[in-house]
């Protein structure tokens, strides 16, 4: 697949800690989970972009609250959202193994079902042959050094969703939708204090945030090395929570509950 323009991806900060990801080719644009329409409209106008597509990962208001306003400003924009969830705006319902083709940017994204945070949560995976790293737009499923709360799904569902994402190529860039990385790393270090890669990531993230820079995107390789929810077989994590002989699902269930109160 040949792209007419180099694909650019930028974060649009929203609310306290959300990121609305904007993909563009200097003319056409895609936004992911636009909870707040105003910064999106401002960015589109500043960059002289036309909005062609809106991608929704799940139904929480901080991810969909701006859709109707964006559609009133850009009525030609097409919305994609989960087939397993209900929405009050016009959209094309998708689920795994559907593909979202965005002709204006010459890209196609695979839909991945990732229940856990919500039952109908989906992610979008962008892979271009012989080109840049793959990109994963995973909403509130996988975070920098963390994962989403279980508002609707079960630990089993979230664990398997994360395993599905972790099986993608290691260099895949991870574009999640909240700036939670630093707090997640603090929690991770309580579980795995001797993980040198974890300490290095914490110091690097601290420096980024002190300069008001995003900690994202990360990569699946970095998450596999530092994210406790992808490291449930770690002997140190098992020792920290006194579950030496537990299986990975038991460990995941325990540390997800611990993170709720951290």
Rg, the chain, Cα only = 18
Pick the CATH number of 8-260 from 3.60.15.10, 3.30.420.40, 3.40.50.2300, 2.40.10.340: 3.60.15.10
The pLDDT, as a whole number, for residue 50 is 98
Locate the domains of the chain by residue range: 8-260
Would you name the residues annotated as active-site residues?
58, 60, 62-63, 117, 140, 178
Can you tell me the mean pLDDT for 31-59?
98
Band (132; pLDDT cuts 50, 70, 90): confident
The pLDDT, as a whole number, for residue 130 is 73
With a cut of 50, say whether residue 4 has pLDDT above it.
Answer: no
Q: What is the mean pLDDT of the chain?
A: 96
With a cut of 50, say whether residue 236 has pLDDT above it.
Answer: yes
State percent of the chain over pLDDT 90.
Answer: 95
Q: Compute the distance between CA of residue 227 and CA of residue 255 in angstroms, rounded to an integer.
A: 11
Cβ-proximal residues to 74 (8 Å cutoff; 6+ apart), any chain: 44, 50, 51
Q: Compute the distance between CA of residue 63 and CA of residue 47 in angstroms, rounded to an integer.
A: 22
Query: Alpha helix (H) ranges present in the chain?
Result: 37-46, 61-64, 67-73, 155-166, 181-191, 196-210, 220-226, 235-240, 248-260
The pLDDT tens digits of the residues spanning 108-125 come to 999 999 999 999 999 999
């Amino acid at each position: 697949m040949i792209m007419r323009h180099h694909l650019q991806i930028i974060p649009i900060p929203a609310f306290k800690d959300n990121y609305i990801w904007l993909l563009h080719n200097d003319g056409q644009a895609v936004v992911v989970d636009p909870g707040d329409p105003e910064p999106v409209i401002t960015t589109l106008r500043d960059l002289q972009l036309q909005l062609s597509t809106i991608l929704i990962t799940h139904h929480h208001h901080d991810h969909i609250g701006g859709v109707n306003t964006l559609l009133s400003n850009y009525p030609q924009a097409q919305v994609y959202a989960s087939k397993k969830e209900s929405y009050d705006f016009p959209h094309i319902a998708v689920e795994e193994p559907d593909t979202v083709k965005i002709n204006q940017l010459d890209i196609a994204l695979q839909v991945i079902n990732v229940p856990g945070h919500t039952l109908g949560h989906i992610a979008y995976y962008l892979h271009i042959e012989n080109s840049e790293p793959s990109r994963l737009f995973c909403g509130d499923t996988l975070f920098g050094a963390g994962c989403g709360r279980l508002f609707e799904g079960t630990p089993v569902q979230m664990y398997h969703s994360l395993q599905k994402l972790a099986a993608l190529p290691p260099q895949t860039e991870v574009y999640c939708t909240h700036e939670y990385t630093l707090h997640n790393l603090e929690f991770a270090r309580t579980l795995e204090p001797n993980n040198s890669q974890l300490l290095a990531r914490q110091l690097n993230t601290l420096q980024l945030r002190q300069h008001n820079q995003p900690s994202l995107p990360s990569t699946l390789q970095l998450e596999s090395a530092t994210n406790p929810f992808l490291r449930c077989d770690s002997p140190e994590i098992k020792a920290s929570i006194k579950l030496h002989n537990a299986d990975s699902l038991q460990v995941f269930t325990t540390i997800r509950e611990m993170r709720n109160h951290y």
